Amino acid sequence: MVGAPAAMVSLTAKGNAGPTLKGMPHMPRQTPSPQGAVVEFENVSKTFHSPKGPVHAVNGLTMSMQAGQTIAFLGPNGAGKSTSLNMLLGLSRPDSGRVALFGGTAAEAIKHGKVGAMLQSGGLMSDVTVQEQVQLWAKLHPRPIPVSEALKRANIADLADRRVDKLSGGQQQRVQFAMAIIGDSPLIVLDEPTTGMDVENRQAFWATMRERALEGKTVLFATHYLEEADQFAERVIVINKGRLLADGTSAEIKASAGAKRLSFRLPGVQDAALYRLPNLVHVERQADVVRLQTSDSDATLYALLDAGLRPTDIEIQPLGLEQAFLAITAEDNNHSGGPADGATLEAAR
């Protein structure tokens, strides 16, 4: 059984300082009281089994989400995001703990049309048109909006008469999005919603999501495009190894990392010389350009100079959300002994 998280970026509900990542400031937890919560996870765990041993996909996860929030659900591959979303939607049962939607079960919430979902696979038929596919979903929903409106919001009105199996991957994503919003549901759950979409359609997608949020709907989305989380989410939840690691606004997540980005140009420098520098979190290089994440940019730069190296074009910047995400998950992995607990299963994403 996996123990408690080595590092959790948050405060307790009463505002007392809880454990934080080494060298990182405390960050207030954004999870409000579960009273009247749209989504509740209470000490939820889910374990899969493989020939290599147990996979703790979700491990004691507790969080709640309120109405009207736009929430990015982040984590590295294998963190347990998809498993958590499957349990949220009633597609999988937790081994222990409690998952609730609107104070009841997922089945009850879905029956009453309170949930729209867009998952990474499934849900599309191959021998029907786009309009027929969305019309079918509208007939199954207790509170549908007009099909023409759903097609317009998903930016696929011009594809209405095309067969689903003739669409590109990005176009099929937009059909699934239309199906997710065909009902006037107060909760919209999206798993990697913009995968395969071009820039124009990603922008149109998020414009539609802004409109839904302004209507007071709760939007929960998992994504690997961290710039989307940074731009569109008012709250960011980060999990790692199935455990809650950080919970706050994008700005608070960035501040919690306590690291900065040091970049410079240094022709001919050897990797070994870079990895000897102190306070490193992450090293990235492309030809002569080096980008370091460091918990103490001054100490790292001084060590570079003390080693007799003379970089040029030096820049020191605060981390963006992507760099902060990498920093806090790397620190958690260092504390808890590597990037994976047990074997790896595709199901434990």
pLDDT at residue 108 above 60?
yes
Same domain assignment for residues 292 and 274:
yes
pLDDT at 8: 32
Q: Are residues 205 and 181 in contact, defined by beta-carbon separation less than 8 angstroms? A: no
Q: Phi and psi for 325 in degrees, rounded to 5?
A: -60, -50
pLDDT at 35: 53
Residue 310 included in any domain: yes
Closest CA to 242 of 86, 119, 117, 109: 86
At 191, the amino acid letter reads D
Residue 165 included in any domain: no
User: Strand 243-248 vs strand 96-101: parallel, antiparallel, or unpaired?
Assistant: unpaired
Boundary of a domain, candidates 218, 234, 255: 255
Same domain assignment for residues 194 and 246:
yes
DSSP run (H or E) holding 157: none
Burial of 248 (0-12, 13-18, 19+ CB in 10 A): buried
Same domain assignment for residues 216 and 299:
no
How many angstroms separate the CA atoms of 346 and 170, rounded? 22
Burial of 333 (0-12, 13-18, 19+ CB in 10 A): middle
Residue 297 included in any domain: yes
DSSP letter for each residue of 270-335: -HHHHHTSTTEEEEEEETTEEEEEES-HHHHHHHHHHTT---EEEEEEE--HHHHHHHHHHHHHHH
For the chain, the domain total comes to 2
Same domain assignment for residues 104 and 200:
yes
Q: Compute the average pLDDT of residues 16-28.
A: 34
Q: What angle do CA 171, 211, 325 make, to 5 degrees?
A: 75
Same domain assignment for residues 277 and 313:
yes
- Percent of the chain whose predicted confidence (pLDDT) is above 70: 85
pLDDT at residue 33 above 60?
no
- Which residue segment(s) compose the domain that 58 sits in? 39-114+185-255
pLDDT at 337: 60
How many angstroms separate the CA atoms of 296 and 78, rounded? 30
- Could you read off the pLDDT of 42-64 as tens digits, one per residue? 999 999 988 888 989 999 999 99
Same domain assignment for residues 190 and 306:
no
- Could you read off the pLDDT of 256-304 as tens digits, one per residue? 877 888 999 999 888 899 999 999 888 999 999 999 988 899 999 999 9
Same domain assignment for residues 249 and 312:
no
pLDDT at residue 241 above 50?
yes
Of 7-11, 99-103, 123-127, the range with the lowest mean pLDDT is 7-11
Strand partners, 129: 163
Same domain assignment for residues 212 and 264:
no
Of 83-87, 122-126, 264-268, 295-299, the range with the lowest mean pLDDT is 122-126
Same domain assignment for residues 251 and 263:
no
- Give the single-character DSSP code of 7: -
Residue 225 included in any domain: yes
Same domain assignment for residues 51 and 89:
yes
Cross-sheet strand order for the sheet of 260-265: 280-286, 289-294, 260-265, 312-318
pLDDT at 30: 42
At 125, the amino acid letter reads M
How many angstroms separate the CA atoms of 268 and 237, rounded? 40
Strand partners, 104: 101
Q: What CATH number does the domain containing 276 carry?
A: 3.30.70.100
Beta strands in the chain (DSSP E): 39-50, 53-65, 70-74, 96-101, 115-118, 187-191, 218-222, 235-240, 243-248, 260-265, 280-286, 289-294, 312-318
pLDDT classification of 158: cutoffs 50, 70, 90: very high
Boundary of a domain, candidates 205, 238, 255: 255
Residue 86 included in any domain: yes
Same domain assignment for residues 247 and 293:
no
Same domain assignment for residues 100 and 210:
yes
Q: What CATH number does the domain containing 192 carry?
A: 3.40.50.300
Averaged pLDDT of the chain: 84
Residue 140 included in any domain: no
Residue 231 included in any domain: yes
Residue 56 included in any domain: yes
